[in-house]
Amino acid sequence: VEGTLDSIEKIVRDDMIAFHKKYFRPNNIILGISGDFNKDEIIKKLNAVFAGWKKEEIQFPEVPKVDKRFEKAVFYAYKDINQANVIMGHLGIHRKSPDYFPVMIMNFILGGGSFTARIPGRIRSDEGLAYSAYSAFQTSRDIGMFFVSCQTKLESTNRAISIALEELEKIRKSPIDKDELTQAKETFTNQFVFRFTTSASIVGQKVDIEYEELPLNYLETYIANVLAVTQEDVQRVARKYLHPDEIKILVVGDNEKFDKPLDSFGKVNVIDLK
């Protein structure tokens, strides 16, 4: 939670000290080390350094349950800028979903890959409406989100949104091309080696695997999981996890200059930016 201007202003030094004392405990951290060292020796040194750091039971605040079904809505905020900033999305998948790899491949084809992916391919390359246009699934241990983002000319705002929504429907309803699947798989497998270029990148992934509670052989089975994705898998997860009828659309810009009113996508809720 990022908070508000008022809540941030109320934070004092004692609040930060109390937070650190409560949550920074050895039973609430994951320590990763990568480099040229003797395992037994480094463990001995770490135990000596942190000998005085005591465990303590931590009571985490309860996270409110989230309704996993969104209602479609449109939000607009005026800002005197020369582009419209558009973001639309809904809830997605968590990191341990058995459909993680098919979803990542599907999103690469939809809008998470290069400029040739479907959404940027149409919005940016074919129609020249925006320099930046993409889709993404952000996954976490508990819940994730899917979103499409683009910055487009004010005069093409409605058109850019329409294209993105069209592509969501298209990938849900029609099978992908074999060439699209091949390109996605090749990109994932070819880029995999670059995840191990530094000690920091290696240990970071190991820590992430531990934190996300993924299988310890996650990296060893990564390429096999990518290659196992089929065309049928892609369409299945597109239908399961993309919900144009539940999407929330947020647009920031000057609606007086939009090509069409935003209410073509539904009732517009106006947000006052202060």
**pLDDT score for 105:** 98
Residue 26: inside a domain, yes or no? yes
Tell whether the model's pLDDT for residue 167 goes beyond 90.
Answer: yes
| Amino acid letter, 190 | N
Two structure tokens written together for 82:
């020369």
Looking at the structure, do residues 153 and 235 belong to the same domain, yes or no?
A: yes
In a shared domain, residues 127 and 230: yes
Question: Do 136 and 258 belong to one domain?
Answer: yes
Q: What are the structure tokens assigned to 256, written together?
A: 């007086």
Inside any domain, residue 57: no
Q: CB-side exposure of 58: number of CA atoms within 13 Å?
A: 17
What order of strands is seen across the sheet that includes strand 268-271? 130-138, 145-153, 83-91, 248-253, 73-78, 268-271
* Residue 23 and residue 151 share a domain: no
Do both 43 and 80 map to the same domain? Answer: no
State yes or no: pLDDT of 3 exceeds 90: no
93 in any annotated domain:
yes
DSSP state of 267: P
For residue 165, report the phi and psi dihedrals to the nearest 5 degrees. -65, -35
In a domain, 60, yes or no: no
Domain membership of residue 256 (yes or no) is: yes
Question: What are the tens digits of pLDDT across the range 208-234?
Answer: 999 999 999 999 999 999 999 999 999
109 secondary structure, DSSP code: I
Q: Are residues 29 and 159 in the same domain?
A: no
Largest pairwise CA distance in the chain: 67
Q: Nearest to residue 132, comparing CAs of 95, 165, 87, 173? A: 87
Residues contacting residue 52 through CB under 8 Å, at least 6 positions apart: none
Q: Would you state the pLDDT for residue 77? A: 98
Report the domain count for the chain: 2
pLDDT, residue 274, reads 73
Q: Which of 34, 49, 64 is the last residue of a domain?
A: 49
- Domain assignment present for residue 182? The answer is yes
Domain annotation covers residue 68:
no
Report the mean per-residue pLDDT for the chain: 94
In this predicted structure, what is the pLDDT of residue 35?
A: 86
Residues 19 and 120 occupy one common structural domain = no
The CATH number of the domain where 116 resides is what? Answer: 3.30.830.10
Angle CA(62)–CA(68)–CA(72) in degrees, nearest 5? 130
Bridge partners of 145? 91, 138
Supply φ then ψ for residue 152, to 5 degrees: -130, 165
* Mean of pLDDT values over 112-129: 91
Task: Find the mean pLDDT for residues 165-169.
Answer: 98
Indicate whether 173 and 45 sit together in one domain: no
Do residues 36 and 84 both lie within one domain? Answer: no
Q: Print the domain residue range for 38.
A: 5-49
Out of 16, 34, 49, a domain closes at 49
Per-residue pLDDT for 82 more than 70? yes
15-71 per-position pLDDT tens digit: 999 999 999 999 999 999 988 899 999 999 999 999 999 999 999 988 788 777 778
Same domain, 16 and 150: no
Report pLDDT for 273. Answer: 85
Q: Is residue 154 part of a domain?
A: yes
Taking 70 as the threshold, does the pLDDT of residue 91 lie above it? yes
What pLDDT is recorded for position 1?
59
Instruction: State whether 12 and 109 are in the same domain.
Output: no
Question: CA dist 203 to 34, 51, 114, 188, Å?
Answer: 6, 23, 28, 20
Query: Residues 19, 132: one domain?
Result: no
* pLDDT over threshold 80, residue 193: yes
